[in-house]
Amino acid sequence: MIREDVLREAAAAITGDRQRDYGPARESFERTAALWSAALGRRVAPEQVALMLALLKVARLCTSPDHRDSWVDLAGYAALGAEVAARDER
């Protein structure tokens, strides 16, 4: 099924090469949040980074809804955002 393939691809992407290349998602999102906070002059939380990146994918999908990689990335950002937000609750 397509949905299972997309989720499998997203899981492979966020736990494989990207994690090895960019480090733990939490650290990357915290670093990005700090940079965006400085640029915008307001606090950006790490989980908001995931939301904004997901919205970027949504915007691209509005133009190219058949672009599979954007769907995969969207699923990946959702999973990473959930992970980062769950850590914030603890």
Q: What is the pLDDT of residue 83?
A: 93
Work out how many domains the chain is built from and give that number. 1
User: What is the residue range of 81's domain?
Assistant: 2-89
CB distance 29 to 46 below 8 Å: yes
Ordered per-residue pLDDT tens for the chain, 90 residues: 899 999 999 999 999 878 888 889 999 999 999 999 999 999 999 999 999 999 999 999 999 999 999 999 999 999 999 999 997 554
Helix segments in the chain, DSSP class H: 2-15, 17-22, 25-40, 46-63, 68-89
